[in-house]
Chains A and B, each alone.
Chain A
């Protein structure tokens, strides 16, 4: 068992402590970053949605804001746990790196902390204040929540920009240390930081809006399929089903249009929609037309932010080429500069980005206003999968491509081995126990959350 673990865990060029620290830190970081992107995205989308709903007097959008808030709250809970995970792993395995961050980059960390401590109470007050404080006050609290959410990456992305190229902060790097005091006034001229920051902001918006759109699409198509077993959900129009007499009995409501459709002008105008309104209207408290409206709304946000996100992604690629050549070489497979090639991982990442585009457009076309169809189950599933997978994949690619360095500048860096905690013997049994206990606790936590929030036992 120990030998097997040693084999799995040991990597040439890494000391056991560096490798274990890298695996444990990376694991927590990927989960944390994925979830904080949901928090970031939803912190912006939720108050904006509430505001639009308030301005248009559209109760559906307010209802959507409330439902999306649940994603935010749950994600924040787990993200908080994994934030602690990262802090502990940095202190236990990477004290020198933590020291560099906490002394040289004190100001940006404090900025991120201000964001965290703005967002946490704002989230709590926003939730408890719903329908208890005036709408304007509630929206103002939502604004604080959004600003807090945006400040967190504004602070922490400085750290990532720093380890990608400290020389842009007017400090120099050699094999053992970082020398100099950083000039943080150069921050906004630092292309790595600026592109990373925009990439993070729009990444959060893209991921959360598209994941939620996919989830709503999945739920709608699932309910349709459950109530209409004959249907294979092969893209048939809902109205065709109704015309062909395939309307599920539970959805028949005496031919009346649901109030929701006739009252709400945002739902659409076409005759098809009215028929769909009969077909998949309000049933047992569930309103398919309203849910489709949500899908459409979220896809619009998602498409807009995905466009910006993709553009910043391309810019970031070229910024890396110029300002962080080691990472660029690792990503593009140039092993004459980089020690390892991560081009296969880059290809997988690009495939997921392409998949996001394809599934978003496919779903958007199907849920489009004049082409009111049941969302494709496959497109919904692929959208959820790709939107949630692309972001950590991109992050993993960016971080792993520094290997074997932890901080790179040009084509040199400080090796992870040198920054790892060298003052304690981490033997393989200790490593195995740490990993097993970690797996056990994460499994307990995630199983509980699954039972409580997904299965709703």
Chain B
């Protein structure tokens, strides 16, 4: 027996409105993820800064560092709460708006799901303990509790990024994607049942994945995946995790330095100004050091995209349809300034080698269509990164007379003042870089949910998504964002202005 009526309905929607439905669902999903990411960036990125400040406070017996760590941990707590609330929103969005995703690929996300859950629970436990035990236990022990939060949040981030990276490069599928999209290399060892995945992919293309909800059809596929661990050994996952965690640290630390620079310039309590300056310098410093690491990891990220998602690479680099040279990239990748890169025409011509030629033409058409946007986003990201790297170099003017002289020469400001003023620009530039980078990643994968295997219109809900519904959900997402911003502003600001009695302390 089949799922008669829903299947008929689904046939109807698939032929008539599944693509419209998917297009209608995308803006609210994208906004939800950005809102969620805004808070997660703070949770992920503030952890090392708080630990640094706390350890400086303990080692140097400097209460200002400890006080700074305490205040920033308030932001941490608020961000965590809003991250959890927006995470619930995103999670339900995935289940309700894109239900076919879970049905089709829950096997591949099995470990990331469980890993994220356990990491989240560890984070909650250590966060409650960290906020409760300030000044109540040995400071070193308290510092170790902070490590619990950092490990939990990074682990949670890494496994979710692994899940996303698997959508970009379905690692462990061997030559399966190559057979469909010939420019994709072999994706690791084959740990999947290729016949079952091919059936799934074909079924999805014809009728959507709904057929999998019929237990006899699903069970007849047999195992899809033989080794669930393969998902976390994806090279894309390693680099994406490092790139994203570093980006989170950079953005969060620059945001922190902006807040303390503002307090410093605003004046207020004069005796507090050295404190503001000290914490600003520490957070700026952590962002600066991370920027150097990011330059290296960003290069690795680009190499991963070039290796596994050439269409995306061609689109964001803006290489001509007939192919062309890109001297800096040619130099970086091949040591050859005049290396000739293939263009869209070449990739379209590979359709003849594909088991699904229409998948090739569709992918190329999407990439060509998205090229202007991806190109603009890519260069926004690259230039933002370059600006932040310059800020990072300028930071060392605090320690190097040569760099200080250079900063003074260019800006007519001493390094310290330059850091104070540039603190206001840096987080905006950082957010632009991070936001663009993520947009390139997601738009560049179109029309695929799982690259080469399942398209986004094949996993969207069969229920019609109306414009009113989309607007309502986006309004809710923006309200959550606004609520979070208000809480993020008031709680630490009150703590800064009125002292520690206004800090969030979890009391028994």
| Chain A residues in the interface with B (C-beta under 8 A) | 77, 80-81, 83-85, 87-88, 91-92, 95-96, 98-100, 102-104, 106, 109-110, 113, 116-117, 120-121, 174-181, 414, 418-419, 421-425, 430, 434, 437-438, 441-442, 444-445, 447-449, 451-457
Question: Is the pair B120, A84 in contact by a Cβ cutoff of 8 Å?
Answer: yes
CB distance from B176 to the nearest CB of A (A): 15
CB-defined A-B contacts under 8 Å, sample of 11:
A88-B116, A88-B117, A98-B102, A102-B461, A103-B462, A424-B107, A425-B225, A437-B114, A441-B122, A452-B128, A454-B508
Tell me if B91 and A422 are in contact (CB < 8 A). no
CA distance A77 to B124 in the complex (A): 9
Chain B contacts with A in 97-154, Cβ cutoff 8 A:
99-100, 102-103, 106-107, 109-110, 113-114, 116-118, 120-122, 124-126, 128-129, 132-133, 136
Q: Are A81 and B95 in contact, with the CB atoms below 8 A?
A: no
Of B53-61, B210-218, B271-279, B437-445, the one touching chain A = B210-218
CA distance A430 to B508 in the complex (A): 37
Q: Is B476 an interface residue (CB 8 A)?
A: yes
Complex: how many Å from CA A77 to CA B131? Answer: 15
Chain B residues with CB under 8 A of A424: 106-107, 110, 223-225, 228
B125 touches A444 (CB 8 A): yes
Tell me whether B333 is interfacial, beta carbon within 8 Å: no
A40 to chain B, nearest CB (A): 17
- B143 CB, nearest partner CB in chain A, Å: 16
Q: Which residue of A lies closest to B225 (CB)?
A: A424
Are B96 and A110 in contact (CB-based, < 8 A)? yes
Complex contact B109–A99 (CB within 8 A): no
Number of interface residues of B (CB under 8 A): 65
Q: Is B269 an interface residue (CB 8 A)?
A: no
The CA of A441 and the CA of B91, in the complex, are separated in Å by 21
Which of A77, A83, A99, A116 is the one whose CB lies under 8 Å from B102? A99
Q: Tell me, yes or no, whether B85 is within 8 Å of chain A by CB.
A: yes
The answer on a CB contact under 8 Å between B1 and A179 is: yes
A109-B96, A179-B4, A452-B129 known; A445-B124 Cβ under 8 A:
yes
Asked whether any CB of chain A lies closer than 8 Å to the CB of B84, the reply is: yes
Which 3 A/B pairs are nearest by Cβ-Cβ distance? A456-B508, A418-B215, A424-B107
Q: Which of B6, B133, B219 has a CB less than 8 Å from the CB of A104? A: B6
User: Which chain B residues numbered 214 to 254 have a C-beta less than 8 Å away from chain A?
Assistant: 214-216, 218-219, 221-226, 228
- Are A95 and B102 in contact, with the CB atoms below 8 A? yes
Residue of B nearest to A107 (CB): B463
Q: Which residues of A contact B124 (CB under 8 A)?
A: 77, 81, 445
- Whether, in the assembled complex, B2 has its beta carbon less than 8 Å from a beta carbon of chain A, the answer is yes
Q: Chain B: residues with CB nearer than 8 A to chain A?
A: 1-6, 9, 84-85, 87-89, 91-92, 95-96, 99-100, 102-103, 106-107, 109-110, 113-114, 116-118, 120-122, 124-126, 128-129, 132-133, 136, 196, 210, 212-216, 218-219, 221-226, 228, 461-463, 476, 480, 483, 506-508
Determine which of A96, A106, A437 lies in contact with B212 in the assembled complex, contact meaning CB atoms within 8 Å: A96
Shortest Cβ distance from A102 into B: residue: B99
The answer to whether A179 and B224 touch across the interface, beta carbons within 8 angstroms, is no
Q: Which of A87, A442, A447 has the most CB of B within 10 A?
A: A87
Closest to B145 in A: A448
B92 in contact with A106 (CB, 8 Å): no
- A70 to B116 alpha-carbon distance, docked (Å): 28
Q: Across the interface, do A180 and B508 meet the contact criterion of CB distance under 8 Å?
A: no
Known: A80-B88, A455-B508. 12 other contacts (CB 8 A): A77-B124, A96-B212, A98-B102, A100-B213, A422-B221, A424-B107, A424-B223, A441-B117, A441-B122, A444-B125, A445-B125, A452-B129
**Contacting pair A113 B106 (CB below 8 A):** no
CA distance A273 to B133 in the complex (A): 42
A49 to chain B, nearest CB (A): 21
A110 CA to B463 CA in the complex, in Å?
13
Report yes or no: A423 in contact with B99, Cβ–Cβ below 8 A. Answer: no
Do the beta carbons of A176 and B223 come within 8 Å of each other? no
- A423→B225 contact, CB < 8 A: yes
Task: Name which of A87, A102, A113, A174 has the most chain B CB atoms within 10 A of its CB.
Answer: A102
Alpha-carbon distance A58/B234, docked complex (angstroms): 63
A253 and B230 alpha carbons, distance in the complex (Å): 73
Complex Cα distance A174/B1, Å?
7
- A residues in contact with B100, CB < 8 Å: 99
Residues of chain A with a CB closer than 8 A to B196's CB: 423
| Residues of B close to A175: CB separation below 8 A | 1, 215
B102 with A91: CB separation less than 8 A:
yes
Residues of the A chain whose Cβ atoms lie less than 8 Å from the Cβ of B122: 441, 444-445
Bound together, the chains give a CA A179 to CA B216 distance in angstroms of 14
Candidates B118, B129, B132, B133; contact of A441 at CB < 8 Å: B118
**Chain A residues closer than 8 Å to B92, beta-carbon distance:** 87, 109, 113
> Do A88 and B214 contact each other (CB < 8 Å), given the known contacts A95-B106, A456-B508?
no
The answer to whether B114 touches A81, judged by C-beta atoms less than 8 angstroms apart, is no
Q: Which residues of B have CB within 8 Å of A442?
A: 121
**Which residues of chain A come closer than 8 Å to B476, judged between CB atoms?**
117
User: Nearest Cβ distance between residue B1 and chain A, in whole angstroms?
Assistant: 5
Whether A92 contacts B109 in the complex (CB less than 8 A), given A81-B121, A179-B2, A419-B215, comes out as yes
B219 touches A448 (CB 8 A): no
Contact A430 B223 (CB under 8 A): no
Q: Given A179-B5, A423-B223: A91 and B508 within 8 A (CB)?
A: no
A392 vs B196: C-alpha distance in the bound complex, in angstroms? Answer: 40
Q: How far is the CB of B58 from chain A (nearest CB, A)?
A: 21
Considering the complex, give the chain A residue whose CB is closest to the CB of B224. A423
The smallest C-beta distance from A154 to any residue of chain B, in angstroms, reads 17
Q: Which residue of A lies closest to B7 (CB)?
A: A179
Give every chain A residue within 8 A of B5 (Cβ-Cβ): 179-181
Flag if A99 contacts B213 (CB, 8 Å).
Answer: yes
Q: A121-B483, A174-B1, A448-B129 are in contact. Are A87 and B95 (CB under 8 A)?
A: yes
Of the candidates A80, A104, A180, the one whose C-beta lies within 8 Å of that of B4 is A180
Known: A84-B117, A92-B114. A423 touches B218 (CB 8 A): yes
Smallest CB separation, A108 vs chain B (Å): 11
Question: Is there an interface contact between B483 and A102, defined as CB atoms closer than 8 Å?
Answer: no
Given contacts A81-B120, A418-B219, A423-B223, A120 and B96 within 8 Å (CB-CB): no
Inside 8 A of A120's CB, which chain B residues have their CB?
85
C-alpha gap A397/B422 in the complex (Å): 63
How many Å lie between the Cα of A102 and that of B480 in the bound state? 23
Which residues of the other chain, B, contact A117 by a CB distance below 8 angstroms?
89, 476, 480
A419 shortest CB reach to chain B, Å: 6
Residues of B within 8 A of A92 (CB): 106, 109-110, 113-114
Q: Select B218's contact among A96, A116, A179, A452, beta carbons within 8 Å.
A: A96
Compute how far the CA of A84 lies from the CA of B122 in the bound complex, rounded to whole angstroms: 13
Judge whether B110 and A451 touch: CB under 8 Å. no
Q: List the A side residues contacting B218 at CB < 8 Å.
A: 96, 422-423
Min Cβ gap B65→A in Å is: 25
Residues of B within 8 A of A113 (CB): 92
In the complex, chain A residues whose CB is within 8 Å of the CB of B120: 81, 84
B106–A91 contact, CB under 8 A?
A: yes
A87 to B113, CA, bound (A): 10
Listed residue (A179, A414, A442) with the most chain B CB atoms within 10 angstroms of its CB: A179
Smallest CB–CB gap between B340 and chain A, Å? Answer: 43
- A452 with B95: CB separation less than 8 A: no
B95 engages A98 (CB within 8 Å): yes
**A424 CA to B218 CA, complexed, in Å:** 12
Q: Would you give the shortest CB distance from B257 to chain A, in whole angstroms?
A: 28
What CA separation (Å) do A457 and B142 show in the bound complex?
Answer: 14
Contact status B95-A91, CB under 8 Å: yes
Closest B-chain residue to A116, C-beta based?
Answer: B88
Contacts of B91 in A (CB 8 A): 84, 87
Write the nearest CB–CB distance from B387 to chain A, whole angstroms: 37
Q: Is the CB of A177 within 8 A of B99?
A: no
Q: Which residue of chain A has the shortest Cβ distance to B487 in the bound complex?
A: A124
A360 to B2, CA, bound (A): 52
Chain A's nearest CB lies how many Å from the CB of B154? 16
Q: Name the CB-closest residue of B to A447.
A: B125
Task: Pick from B6, B84, B85: contact of A181, CB below 8 A.
Answer: B6
Contact, CB under 8 Å: A414 / B215: yes
